[in-house]
Amino acid sequence: MKSSAMRRFFTCLLLILILPPSCFATEFPKQNRIPVDQAGQDEDSSTGEQVDYDHPSNILKFADYLYRTGDYRRAIAEYHRYLSLENSPNRVPVLEVKVSRHNCWLKIGDCHRQMGEVESAISAFQEVVKKGNTLAEKARYQIGTTYFLAADHQRSIAAFSELAGSTWTDSLRQEKAKLWIGINQLFLHQWDQAEDLFTALSKVEDIQPSYYRTLAKQGREMPRKRPILAAALSAGAPGAGRIYVGRPADFLTTLPAVILTGWLAYDGFRQSGVRSVKGWTFGTISGIFYLSNVYGSAITAQIHNRQTVDQFLQQIVLPE
């Protein structure tokens, strides 16, 4: 009895080891199973038609999204892709609105500007200017501000001067262009010219010429260090010019260096006369220290003045 039960047990164990697992799996009816890919297709069809990502309106939407999120390089590519459809006959209905294409060029220019590519930005804005449309004046305005942000103030003045003198420009934009001319003059340290321009400007909407006129006056009257005086002080007392320009620590190194090398030169000449190698060596070193101290004080005064003005200009609130 026991041997019979044992034989059945080992027989079942052997079948389990030999037969594949699929023999023991439950087989569901085929009609109850839906392929995954077919389910996805049905879900897409239930939500509507398939999206045409090559349609101009969708390309433009995607480009605008990239532009808003700061992905400027890819936004430029998508805007150019949109503009390239201009010559496709089957795409004309969407591209008939010329303003949208001109706005694309403006945004392309701004993308280049945000990435510091000044010349590419100017070229994009020029595409709008060449069309002579209603956005041309806006493009000229952007050209002027782009040159300003690139610290090319002379070319910025030229661009805004052209805009201010245009007969097609409205009075508000002309006043803003003149305001930017004055701001560029501030950054060129042309205080008197800027003040005269701001005085002639009238207050229009958000333009506040009085604010910039005050800045021009402050810039002209800003206290500055005189390089000649700094050099003269250092010539009389080595290192004194550095104290004058606000760098007393330089005085503590300059004066001892000049005095020490001068004394060593004197000591050499006192011991060996005019043929003293020590005297001529340390005399030359002392002379170099002395002249460098005089020249360096004048240069330090100029650097101090430049830094003071730059800090002043960085606080200027620019118009929008």
Consecutive sets of 10 residues in the chain, 320 residues long: mean pLDDT of each?
A: 57 55 45 36 49 80 93 94 70 52 90 94 91 79 93 94 76 85 94 90 67 91 92 90 88 86 88 87 90 92 92 87
Residue-range domain boundaries for the chain: 97-220, 227-308
User: What was the pLDDT predicted at 202?
Assistant: 65
Contact 145, 121 (CB under 8 A): no
Structure confidence at residue 100 (pLDDT)? 76
For position 26, what pLDDT does the model report?
A: 43
CA angle 159, 163, 168 (to 5 degrees): 150
Among candidate residues 139, 57, 66, 69, the one with its CA nearest the CA of residue 100: 57
| pLDDT value at residue 230 | 93
Contact (CB, 8 A) for 286 and 262: yes
Task: Report residue 262 as tokens.
Answer: 């001068």
Q: Say what the pLDDT of residue 275 is.
A: 85
Q: What is the pLDDT of residue 133?
A: 64
pLDDT attached to residue 233: 92
Query: What residues contact residue 219 under an 8 Å CB cut-off, 6+ apart?
Result: 186, 189, 191, 194, 309, 312, 313
pLDDT at 35 (0 to 100): 37
97-220 belongs to CATH 1.25.40.10: yes
Contact (Cβ atoms closer than 8 angstroms) between residue 206 and residue 319: yes
Calculate Rg over the CA atoms of the chain.
39
